[in-house]
Amino acid sequence: MNTVTNIRITTAVKTNASLYKQVEDAFSVLSKLASIQNVQIIKRRKLTINQLFQRDTTPLIVFESSGPKLYFTPDTPIYFHLDTVKVKLHMMKQRKMPVLIEMLDEITTDFTKFNFIDGTMGFGRDTYLILKHYQQAHVYAIEQNPLIHYVISEGMKRYLTEDELRRIHYINDDYHNWVEQYPELVDILYLDHMFEETLDEDDRMGELSRNIEIPSEIKSVSHFEYLIVKAHYKSEIFKKFNTIQCIRKSTKTHYGLRINQNYKFE
């Protein structure tokens, strides 16, 4: 379960009625969460983010016209952004497929529809890619940190069509709990835990890793028809989850696959 946290919310300096409304909506949603103890709306005035952190270091969500941004520290906001996904989608138009898509193409050849469970949504880039690429997929995007869950899901929704909004399900939970509760929904479970050794301390992934709960041990899972894990090539997770590690010589990021032959009939 998540550690209980506090949160402050405010608007961009250049504000408008829509941003105020988003702050009010966020207040009402976040106040209801058991994992959030206190939600405080603060007046932005002309204060910089640095100034807002001078006396109070409580995490802060800032509503901007481009979407909500979460600050754990004043330097590196966490928000939904399309940068790397755009590059991947562009490459895919030229038939250069990311490994995850190649694996899913193999697995789903005979599927008319399927559920893709992204157990570790994080910045939501993989969720977004799958949602855009597979029109026959329902994507369940699970994120245990309530603040990351909120800003990434609200940020991503702005980029989705009506059809995609029907096919995405954002869930604030630990994926272990969720898959145990809904085993019948788990066609493909995808896990991309933080991989410590490749983290660049200064980037947004570094910022995310410093502010989430990293368990000392990752529990194994059994509720899935197909399991795909992404991790650093030296990670213990491939063995732990009993996956076949797909070796890629040119990169440190590897993928592992495990198939539960009779899962849906068990």
Question: Is residue 174 part of the contact set for ligand SAM (CB under 6 A)?
Answer: yes
What is the x/- site pattern for ligand SAM, positions 196-235, by CB under 6 A? ------------x---x-----------------------
Give the type of residue at 240. Answer: K
Give one word for 189, left, alpha or beta, with left for phi > 0 and alpha for psi -120 to 50. beta
Which of 59, 68, 77, 122: binder of ligand SAM (CB under 6 A)? 122
Give the type of residue at 244. Answer: I
Q: Are 226 and 257 in contact (CB under 8 A)?
A: yes
Q: Which residue is nearest to ligand SAM (CB)?
A: 122
Question: Is residue 148 part of the contact set for ligand SAM (CB under 6 A)?
Answer: yes
Give the type of residue at 116. Answer: F
Which of 53, 80, 123, 241: binder of ligand SAM (CB under 6 A)? 123
Is 39 or 205 the residue whose CB approaches ligand SAM more closely?
Answer: 205
Token digits for 211? 């502010």
Which of 5, 145, 235, 243: binder of ligand SAM (CB under 6 A)? 145
What is the DSSP code (8-state) at residue 265?
Answer: G
Using alpha carbons, select from 128, 133, 131 the residue that is nearest to residue 92: 133
Is 44 or 170 the residue whose CB approaches ligand SAM more closely?
Answer: 170
Which of 175, 226, 241, 255: binder of ligand SAM (CB under 6 A)? 175
User: What's the CA gap between 266 and 261, in Å, rounded?
Assistant: 10
Question: Is residue 194 part of the contact set for ligand SAM (CB under 6 A)?
Answer: yes
Cα 218 versus chain centre, distance: 17
Question: Is residue 188 part of the contact set for ligand SAM (CB under 6 A)?
Answer: no
DSSP letters of 42-82? Answer: ---TT--HHHHTTS--S-EEEEETTEEEEESSSS--B----
Which of 10, 33, 143, 256: binder of ligand SAM (CB under 6 A)? 143
Size of the site for ligand SAM (CB under 6 A): 20
Point out which residues bind ligand SAM (CB under 6 A).
Answer: 119-120, 122-126, 142-145, 148, 174-176, 192-194, 208, 212
